[in-house]
Chain A
Amino acid sequence: EPEVTQTPSHQVTQMGQEVILRCVPISNHLYFYWYRQILGQKVEFLVSFYNNEISEKSEIFDDQFSVERPDGSNFTLKIRSTKLEDSAMYFCASSEMGLATYEQYFGPGTRLTVT
């Protein structure tokens, strides 16, 4: 069964450093998402991406965040200058269409720890 993969599974970085979280969505999917879950809190929407541009972003997704689809398979989330409060589990998801009625398949997540 096709699945979304994410690397690395755990990333430790120092405050102020740049990190890139990588995702390989399901190959025929067109819509891509990043969500995050701070420990003990709810899963929060960060951004949706379609046709090489952001279709919607949350207020969490400020200028420190960016997303890119550098080639036909990868989808990345970059945090330019990490803060302690960026420590969270980051989930990538993809779907065939950009409607909630189409199932979003989630990756296993990258645990980001900012020290």
Chain B
Amino acid sequence: DQQVKQNSPSLSVQEGRISILNCDYTNSMFDYFLWYKKYPAEGPTFLISISSIKDKNEDGRFTVFLNKSAKHLSLHIVPSQPGDSAVYFCAASAVGSSNTGKLIFGQGTTLQVKP
């Protein structure tokens, strides 16, 4: 089951530069997308989300872009900081057809921000 895919297992960027994490999905029923961040020995923590009626959502240094026609979303972190080093999970949900809140996750991308 590969409904949500993060094809890059890892990404390394220099502090102050932009980090771009990518995510693709196959299920056209997905209408809500989220990014979670996970540190070792902790559970995933919500970062930012976007509804399918939008193509961009911004929160401070974090911006999520959604391209519905390409079934692709990306998370931009600008500027990247060493504290951003973590595993980032893309997740999706079919809110319109389900009221259970079930999230489908990608495999995660490990981001390393070098000082």
Chain A interface residues (CB < 8 Å from chain B):
4, 31, 33, 35, 41-45, 48, 50, 55-56, 91, 93, 95, 97-109
User: How many interface residues does chain B have, given as a range?
Assistant: 20 to 34
Q: Given the complex, which residues of A lie within 8 Å of B36, measured CB to CB?
A: 106
Contact B102 A56 (CB under 8 A): yes
- Interface residue? B43 (CB, 8 A): yes
| Chain B residues numbered 61-102 whose CB sits less than 8 Å from any CB in chain A | 89, 91, 93, 95, 98-102
Q: Given the complex, which residues of A lie within 8 Å of B32, measured CB to CB?
A: 100-101
Contact B101 A31 (CB under 8 A): yes
Min CB distance B106 to A, Å, is 6
Chain B interface residues (CB < 8 Å from chain A):
4, 32, 34, 36, 41-46, 49, 51, 89, 91, 93, 95, 98-108
Q: Given the complex, which residues of B lie within 8 Å of A109, measured CB to CB?
A: 41-43
In the complex, 17 of the A-B residue pairs with CB atoms within 8 angstroms, ordered by the A residue number, are: A33-B102, A43-B44, A48-B100, A50-B100, A56-B100, A56-B102, A91-B44, A98-B101, A99-B95, A99-B101, A100-B93, A102-B101, A104-B46, A104-B101, A104-B103, A105-B46, A106-B44
Q: Contacting A100 at CB < 8 Å: which of B95, B106, B108?
A: B95
Min CB distance B102 to A, Å, is 5
Q: Given the complex, which residues of B lie within 8 Å of A42, measured CB to CB?
A: 4, 89, 105-108
